[in-house]
A and B are shown apart, each in its own frame.
Chain A
Amino acid sequence: MTLNFLKKSQKGTIVSINVDHVPLKLIEMGCLPGNIVEVLQIAPLLDPIYIKVNDSFLSIRKDLAKEIEVELI
């Protein structure tokens, strides 16, 4: 499944990233295969989402989250 389907306070391990659609910035902040990503909060209108990955706290939109394949823990 992809990151946009994770519910609040669910965690997943990143399996792969669609590098053609994901900006290098997100990768450089630690959104990398093997790292654990946790959804901390979902904005009231369901977008964007607030995640923790590689000790970074980030907010990203769902259209980007769906380019990140995760495995639910």
Chain B
Amino acid sequence: MKQLKVALIGNPNVGKTSVFNALTGLNQHVGNYPGVTVERKTGTTILNKDTKASIIDLPGVYSVNPNSKDEEIALKAIFDTSNKDFPDVVVVVAEVENLKRNLLLFTQVKDLGFPTILALNMADQMEKKGISIDVPALEKALDTKIVLISARKKEGIDDLKQAVLNYSNYNTNSVFDLKLIDENYFSLLGNLYPNENPYKVWLTQTGIFQFEKLSPLVSSSATVQKSASELKKLQQRETIKRYQFINDILKDTYKIDTSKATDIRMKFDRILTHKFWGYIIFFFVLLLIYGSIFELAAFPMDFVDGLFADLSTWTSANLPEGKLTELLADGIIPGLGGVLMFVPQIAILFFLISILEETGYMSRVVFLMDRIMKPFGLSGKSVVPLVSGTACAIPAIMSARNIENPKERLITMLVTPFTTCSARIPVYIIIISLIIPKTYILGFIPLQAFVMTMMYVLGFLAALLSGLVLSKIIKADRKSFFVIEMPTYKVPILKNVFLNMYEKVVSYVVGAGKIILALSVILWFLGSHGPIDTFGNAEEMVAEKHINERLTEERYNSEVAGYQLEHSYIGIIGRTIEPVFRPLGYDWKISIAVLTSFAAREVFVGNLATLYNLGGDDAEDETKIIDRMANEKRADGTPVYTFATGISLLLFYAFAMQCLSTVGVTKKETNSWKWTFVQLIFMTAVAYVAALIAYQLLK
């Protein structure tokens, strides 16, 4: 079967993704360009019975001059004849509204010498928007093939495929004469590189691209050197001249009655960007997002949790006893369950975010929030990850992907885990019940609830302040400017929403899942194995210790579990590094519980219960655990859980990473172990120092 390579390029918000989805459906793959985090989206489609096409979907751009590192890498790949992405044909997707600006990009692509097709999307809306286009005349003026399509209604997709099949018939001449910009300069360039595409030569001069084998025939190149400022002026002139060229063409071929479209936009904008109602509406949108991932996701999460618990029980009961079954039943299956647990939250969050992006509302959020978030090195869009983070950092970090500016995206990912996620709640509840008295402030505000609220505030503050610090340290690849388009309001296309959701879930399970699984298996091994002479003889040791007592079976089992955890490898590590935690007020039992809860914070409470030999129902009963903790004494007889220790623990759990799933997701999303470790070390250091200071001041 013959395979063509097709590149899809177009302005943002013209429905390019819809065209890509209509062509490829589920046959799409999101990867990265070699060695970098930049997304590379490809897919395949069948053109006819003996030809298929691999399609590369480029990021939305306004011109071939890249604005970011991401755009630069993606564009370079298709312009470079030696790259595997170099296309046979380029499809420029444009929309019928604001055609002028879409054509700027089109003329540039055409001038690079590609066989080029112009796909005019949203053709079904022309009548409604008062637009009429003389297609044959426009085809002639632009020297190209035009296809009218509506990706939303799936119209014209077959015509587009047919046009791609005919790619070799299209003229590859340029449409715009560069000499209109500066006669002398471009004549000189033409003389220096007589056999090269003039537009490629010019792009090379601007320093953006380095094309292969572009050696001058005449050796003196000194005369063509221009300063950065002169080049920028020429680029501005190029833009002016291209627009003049386009306006001349459109004058005879394109008519629009703009009043209709603008009306709807202004009506919505008046409310959604209103200085009061705008924030109220956004608040409710955030509430909906938070509620959905916190409440709605709980049902499928419990289901996944239960399913894997059953599967684990079934496996250990039905497979032959041995190390392999143990690994499968207690290591791998719970690990897989831990990975899949987050799928409902990710799916729900991306369902909502896709809708917000598709409708055009997200740009209004940025408009409202930019001034507030900017000082902290964050984007207006960072609000969504930060608020989602109060449910769970896993989907929240992934949602930072929608932030365009790489530096703001990185900072958002790094600081999001500071927000108070739901896994911290059980730890907070236990500690607060232990150390904060059940009194009221001013007679009516419960003190315990107030402290709990302050923990949320503390989480947000930590995230924002860390953003401030990181924005001073992290260097941007290049100076970036805040120029965002406020797109027309649209009804979301459900196919796009579901494909986006599906793609995010797959990339989480495949990308982050394997890291999370590996880490959780390692942690399980360390927590459930130990040296043979102590760990291996736990049952005898416990029996010997209580030789003169008659223990109930339950009591006996919990004693064994406690003994095993204490003498497991992780228990040994915990006891060994106890001196590190002693200045924070933690004894060896707390040290072990802190260490084991690196798997997930909520494990802290359960493991403390195990260490205090609470078995059976007692281990599940909060009041029993709290009672037991309140009675825990140090060697000198003073209680372990004093106010100072409690505050120290609260602060430690507020700031420390303590979540290996987050580590996995950060690695996947930043595509860098360096930033993953920076985050881990930074958070742990902040946690340690805060807990240390608090304990030393309060003890």
Interface residues in chain A, defined as those with a beta carbon under 8 Å from any beta carbon in chain B: 17, 19-20, 23-30, 32-33, 40-41, 43-48, 50, 54-61, 64
Return the CB mask of B204-242 against A: 1 if under 8 Å, else 0. Answer: 000000000000000000000000010011011001100
Given contacts A20-B229, A30-B243, A64-B481, contact A25 B236 (CB under 8 A): no
A62's nearest neighbour on chain B, judged by CB, is: B371
| B371 engages A28 (CB within 8 Å) | no
CB distance from B254 to the nearest CB of A (A): 12
Q: CB of B366 within 8 A of chain A?
A: yes
CB distance from B252 to the nearest CB of A (A): 18
Chain B positions within 8 Å of A20 at CB level? 229, 232
29 A-B residue pairs with CB within 8 Å: A19-B232, A19-B233, A19-B236, A23-B481, A25-B67, A26-B481, A28-B62, A28-B65, A28-B239, A33-B240, A40-B269, A43-B368, A44-B278, A47-B370, A48-B367, A48-B370, A50-B273, A50-B486, A54-B101, A55-B100, A55-B101, A57-B265, A57-B485, A58-B483, A58-B485, A59-B363, A59-B370, A59-B482, A64-B481
Q: CB of B682 within 8 A of chain A?
A: no
Q: CB of B551 within 8 A of chain A?
A: no
CB distance from A33 to the nearest CB of B (A): 8
Q: Measured between alpha carbons, how far is A17 from B232 in the docked complex, in Å?
A: 11
| A25 engages B372 (CB within 8 Å) | no
| B266 engages A26 (CB within 8 Å) | no
Chain B positions within 8 Å of A56 at CB level? 98, 101, 485
| B371 engages A29 (CB within 8 Å) | no
CB distance from B606 to the nearest CB of A (A): 46
Chain B positions within 8 Å of A41 at CB level? 269, 273, 367
Given contacts A23-B483, A56-B485, A57-B485, contact A28 B269 (CB under 8 A): no
Instruction: Give the top 7 A-B pairs by smallest Cβ distance, nearest first.
Output: A44-B275, A45-B371, A57-B486, A23-B481, A28-B63, A19-B232, A61-B482
Q: CB of B294 within 8 A of chain A?
A: no
Return the CB mask of B242-263 against A: 1 if under 8 Å, else 0. Answer: 0100000000000000100000
Q: Measured between alpha carbons, how far is A59 from B371 in the docked complex, in Å?
A: 12
**Contact residue among B97, B266, B371, B481 (Cβ-Cβ distance under 8 Å from A40):** B266
Scoring B104, B258, B278, B486 by chain A CB atoms within 10 A of each residue's CB, the highest score goes to: B486
| A29 engages B62 (CB within 8 Å) | yes
Return the CB mask of B304-316 against A: 1 if under 8 Å, else 0. Answer: 0000000000000
| A58 engages B484 (CB within 8 Å) | yes
| A27 engages B239 (CB within 8 Å) | yes
Chain A positions within 8 Å of B481 at CB level? 23, 25-26, 64
User: How many A-B contacts are there with CB distance less than 8 Å?
Assistant: 109
Q: CB of B279 within 8 A of chain A?
A: yes
Chain B positions within 8 Å of A27 at CB level? 235-236, 239
Return the CB mask of B49-70 against A: 1 if under 8 Å, else 0. Answer: 0000000000000110101000
| A47 engages B371 (CB within 8 Å) | yes
Q: Measured between alpha carbons, how far is A57 from B63 in the docked complex, in Å?
A: 17
Q: Beyond A20-B232, A40-B266, A58-B486: 8 further Cβ-contacts under 8 Å?
A: A28-B63, A28-B104, A29-B485, A30-B101, A45-B372, A54-B101, A59-B363, A59-B483
Chain B positions within 8 Å of A59 at CB level? 363, 366-367, 370, 482-486
Chain A positions within 8 Å of B372 at CB level? 45
Chain A positions within 8 Å of B273 at CB level? 41, 43, 50
Chain B interface, number of residues (Cβ within 8 angstroms): 40
B265's nearest neighbour on chain A, judged by CB, is: A57
**Contact residue among A30, A50, A54 (Cβ-Cβ distance under 8 Å from B367):** A50
| B275 engages A19 (CB within 8 Å) | no
Q: Measured between alpha carbons, how far is A24 from B481 in the docked complex, in Å?
A: 10
| B486 engages A29 (CB within 8 Å) | no
Chain A positions within 8 Å of B97 at CB level? 55
Chain A positions within 8 Å of B65 at CB level? 24-25, 28
Scoring B63, B258, B483 by chain A CB atoms within 10 A of each residue's CB, the highest score goes to: B483
Q: Measured between alpha carbons, how far is A61 from B232 in the docked complex, in Å?
A: 21
Q: Measured between alpha carbons, how far is A33 from B98 in the docked complex, in Å?
A: 19
CB distance from B244 to the nearest CB of A (A): 10
A20's nearest neighbour on chain B, judged by CB, is: B229
Q: Measured between alpha carbons, how far is A40 from B266 in the docked complex, in Å?
A: 9
| A23 engages B67 (CB within 8 Å) | yes
Q: Measured between alpha carbons, how far is A24 from B478 in the docked complex, in Å?
A: 13
Given contacts A40-B269, A58-B483, contact A29 B229 (CB under 8 A): no
| A60 engages B243 (CB within 8 Å) | no
Chain B positions within 8 Å of A64 at CB level? 481-483
CB distance from B354 to the nearest CB of A (A): 21
Q: Measured between alpha carbons, how far is A25 from B235 in the docked complex, in Å?
A: 11
CB distance from B435 to the nearest CB of A (A): 40
Chain B positions within 8 Å of A60 at CB level? 482-484
A57's nearest neighbour on chain B, judged by CB, is: B486
Return the CB mask of B96-123 against A: 1 if under 8 Å, else 0. Answer: 0110110010000000000000000000
A51's nearest neighbour on chain B, judged by CB, is: B486
| A43 engages B483 (CB within 8 Å) | no
| A24 engages B232 (CB within 8 Å) | yes
Given contacts A17-B236, A59-B363, contact A29 B269 (CB under 8 A): no
Chain B positions within 8 Å of A46 at CB level? 371
Chain B positions within 8 Å of A40 at CB level? 266, 269
Q: Measured between alpha carbons, how far is A41 from B268 in the docked complex, in Å?
A: 12
Q: Measured between alpha carbons, how far is A57 from B269 in the docked complex, in Å?
A: 12
CB distance from A15 to the nearest CB of B (A): 14
| B233 engages A24 (CB within 8 Å) | no
Q: Measured between alpha carbons, how far is A19 from B363 in the docked complex, in Å?
A: 26
Given contacts A26-B483, A56-B98, contact A61 B368 (CB under 8 A): no
Scoring B62, B63, B366 by chain A CB atoms within 10 A of each residue's CB, the highest score goes to: B62
Q: Measured between alpha carbons, how far is A21 from B233 in the docked complex, in Å?
A: 12
Q: Measured between alpha carbons, how far is A30 from B233 in the docked complex, in Å?
A: 15
Chain A positions within 8 Å of B98 at CB level? 55-56
B206's nearest neighbour on chain A, judged by CB, is: A24
Chain A positions within 8 Å of B363 at CB level? 59
Chain B positions within 8 Å of A57 at CB level? 265, 485-488
Chain B positions within 8 Å of A58 at CB level? 483-486
| B482 engages A43 (CB within 8 Å) | no
Q: Measured between alpha carbons, how far is A11 from B101 in the docked complex, in Å?
A: 21
CB distance from B392 to the nearest CB of A (A): 30
CB distance from A61 to the nearest CB of B (A): 5
Chain A positions within 8 Å of B366 at CB level? 59
CB distance from A50 to the nearest CB of B (A): 6
Chain B positions within 8 Å of A43 at CB level? 273, 367-368, 370-371
